[in-house]
Amino acid sequence: MQRQILKGIKIFDFGWAMMGGQATKLLADLGADVVKLESMTHVDFMRTNGFLRSCTSRNDPNDKPYSSWLNTSKYGLAMNTKHPKAKDVIAEYYKWADVVFENFSPGKIDKQGFGYEFAKSVNPDIVFCHASIYGQTGPMSRQAGTDGMGSSVGCHRGLTGWPDRTPVPNSPMVFGDMLTPLVCASGILAALDYRRRTGKGQEIDFAMLDAIAMKSAPLVLDYAANGHVTKRDGNHVPYASPHAAFPCRGDDRWCAIAVYKDEEWQSLCRAMGDPEWCRKEEYRTFEGRKAAQDYIEEQIGKWTADKDPQELMKYLQERGVPAGAVQNLEELIDVDPLLKERKYFVPLDHPVQGVIPHPRPPYMLSKTPADQDTMTAGPWLGEDTFETATRFAGLTDEQFVELDKEGLFV
């Protein structure tokens, strides 16, 4: 099978920040030609975010692994879109492209004159994709937003935390910023397949809130059917008990243990040496354990307190009990076998930092995996301006030089 399975898909990409980077990266890593438009006049903040003190400077837009991670396998085009000749050149890219992708604040791309109507006028069957926090329509659509804001409105953040304390965020992790790109990548491929079969392009509105809210379907159904308003409840869930992180030996060390089935409770009791307290008849059923969960979890915590979390996980798993050490990122990346065995981090040659690990998409295709052969590090700002302008937008060398002199390609 041809390795770069999405080769032949052509995307013109206004995407920026995390959501805009990741959405088209997922397609580029498997072969799609993605031209990422940027400009020195308005630098993507993934190129200005200096949070990695050890390897990034304040002013160099090209030394940020953040930008490279989110834009692997793309071409880099630098162009000032406010330049009077930008529209003509963008029209040429639109003629070349199958897909245009953007995630500015809703309305902005139309205001700039590069929206769907313009795109259709030069390329009638183009697939034009918007991504945003709240969507292109509706009263909240014009509000600026972040991952945290989408998570808040979307019934995620407010339900994370202890019942007697303030809800807590999940940062530095994100949810919507990485979930929405998956929906975008799926939708783009689906729309291209639809075009292949019908000849028709379309405009698509992807919204982070729509994607996050889909996850809350069971909570909304429970509320509508039963009047039950789910609240934050620590590590407890309605379908398993006991279900918690238990203290282990050492500083801030924990092991998660879950009992989903009644036979797993029996296994856990045997693994603990069948102490007196767990022999109660009521505990044999989920309902009985759920009713006494605080007491049961306190007793289990006493048993786990002097044990190493990794050894405990192994001991319990060997005895049929679902258990997992609460790993920090050092353990996940350096110790845990999973990401290594699945080659999740792909070493790629970064323009400034040399060979550094980059994540591949979170799925593995058995015959055509995304790896060193299909992926490249993210481009430096404007790395492929000449190449894409001449090869994709069809400019002659002379035209390129002329426009460059006029200050278009910055």
Partner 1 sequence: MDTGREIGNARPPLMSGYRALDLTDPQGYVCGMFLAELGFEVIKVEKPEGDPGRLRYPFIGGSPDKEKGIYWNSYNVDKKGITLNIETEKGRSIFKELVKKSDVVIESFEPGYLDGLGLGYAELSKVNPKIILTSITPFGQDTSRRNYKGGELICDALAGVMDNIGDEDRAPLIEPSDTCTFYANIAAATGTITALYAANLQGEGQHVDVSIEEAAASRNPQGEMSWIFDRKIAKRMGPYSKYGIAKVRTVWECRDGFVNWTLFAGRMGAKGNAALSAWMNEDGLENPLNGIEDWNNFDMSSMTEKELDNWEECIARFFRNHTKKELGEEGAKRNLSATILAGPDDMLRNEHLISRGYWTELEGPDGTVLPHPKYCLLSSETENFTRKRAPFLGEDNDSVYKELGIKTPLKDLKAEGVI
Contacting residue, 15, 20, 61, 65, with partner 1 by CB under 8 A: 65
Contacting residue, 40, 91, 122, 155, with partner 1 by CB under 8 A: 155
The one-letter amino acid at 225:
A
Nearest CA among 297, 258, 154, 130 for reference residue 205: 130
176-198 helix and 17-28 helix, angle to the nearest 10 degrees: 50
State in angstroms the smallest separation of the CB of 256 from partner 1.
4
Q: Per CB under 8 A, does 60 bind partner 1?
A: no
Q: Per CB under 8 A, does 165 bind partner 1?
A: yes
d(CA 267, CA 95): 64
Q: Per CB under 8 A, does 305 bind partner 1?
A: no
State in angstroms the smallest separation of the CB of 371 from partner 1.
14
The answer to whether the beta carbons of residues 410 and 80 sit under 8 Å apart is: yes
Residues 200-239 vs partner 1: string with x where CB under 8 A? xxxxxxxx-xxx-xxxxxxxxxxxxxx-xxxxx-xx-xxx
CA atoms within 13 A of residue 343's CA, in its CB half-sphere: 10
Beta bridge partners of 406: none
Q: Per CB under 8 A, does 174 bind partner 1?
A: yes
The answer to whether the beta carbons of residues 38 and 194 sit under 8 Å apart is: no
Q: Per CB under 8 A, does 6 bind partner 1?
A: yes
φ and ψ at residue 106, rounded to 5 degrees: -50, 135
Q: Please, is 26 exposed, middle or buried when counting C-beta atoms within 10 Å of its C-beta (0-12, 13-18, 19+)?
A: buried
The pair of structure tokens assigned to 52 is 């990695």
Nearest CA among 43, 89, 27 for reference residue 410: 43
- Residue 17, SS3? helix
Q: Per CB under 8 A, does 351 bind partner 1?
A: no
Segment 359-398, which members bind partner 1 (CB under 8 A)?
359, 361-368
Q: Per CB under 8 A, does 112 bind partner 1?
A: no
Stretch that binds partner 1, among 80-88, 142-150, 373-381, 391-399 (CB under 8 A): 142-150
State in angstroms the smallest separation of the CB of 399 from partner 1.
34
State in angstroms the smallest separation of the CB of 129 from partner 1.
9
Contacting residue, 333, 386, 390, 404, with partner 1 by CB under 8 A: 333
Segment 250-279, which members bind partner 1 (CB under 8 A)?
252, 254-256, 258, 260, 264
d(CA 73, CA 34): 8
d(CA 130, CA 14): 10
Contacting residue, 163, 199, 273, 337, with partner 1 by CB under 8 A: 337
By beta-carbon proximity to partner 1, the closer residue of 156 and 307 is 156
State in angstroms the smallest separation of the CB of 289 from partner 1.
12
